[in-house]
Amino acid sequence: MKNLISLKILTSERTVYEDEVSKLILLTESGQIGILPNHCPLISIIKTGEIKIQKKNQKEIIPFSISEGILEVRADSDKENKNTEVIILASRSELATELDIERAEESYKRAKKAMEDKDNLSDVDFAKFQGIMEKELNRIKVGKKYKK
């Protein structure tokens, strides 16, 4: 029996990550969860945050920044020959060590400035800028955490 997870992280633009891993940790609407091989089937909404991936026989964590999305854990009917399959569909995901922190800070400042002029914003625009600020703050936080 294989004790691995076949993981795919996808955005509308590209496949961000695809490999076999032994563990991943991420934030869902229900809270932080860990997924190990042979996890039960699951579909959940992912919150903006961080994904930590661990490959087999490695202590090092591979960190990703992620914006909201959907998580699906597929159980295998033939567990003797297949890995657990995990698919993550996200609006945005980036390897933490490759994040452009300066660009994220500039984008955050622009969104914050636009929100300060609330009188000229519709509710939709206000929510849009709130979402941008949340995503950019997450990118800044995760990027600084893993910056070498």
User: How is residue 103 annotated by DSSP?
Assistant: H
> Which parts of the chain fold into alpha helices (H)?
101-116, 123-146
pTM of the model: 0.81
Q: What pLDDT does residue 121 have?
A: 67
| pLDDT tens digit sequence for 127-143 | 778 888 888 888 888 88
| pLDDT tens digit sequence for 41-96 | 999 999 999 999 999 888 889 999 999 999 999 976 555 657 789 999 999 999 88
* Burial readout 48-68 (b: 16 or more C-beta within 10 A, e: otherwise): bbbbebbbeeeeebbbbbbbb
Q: What pLDDT does residue 1 have?
A: 44
Q: What pLDDT does residue 46 have?
A: 95
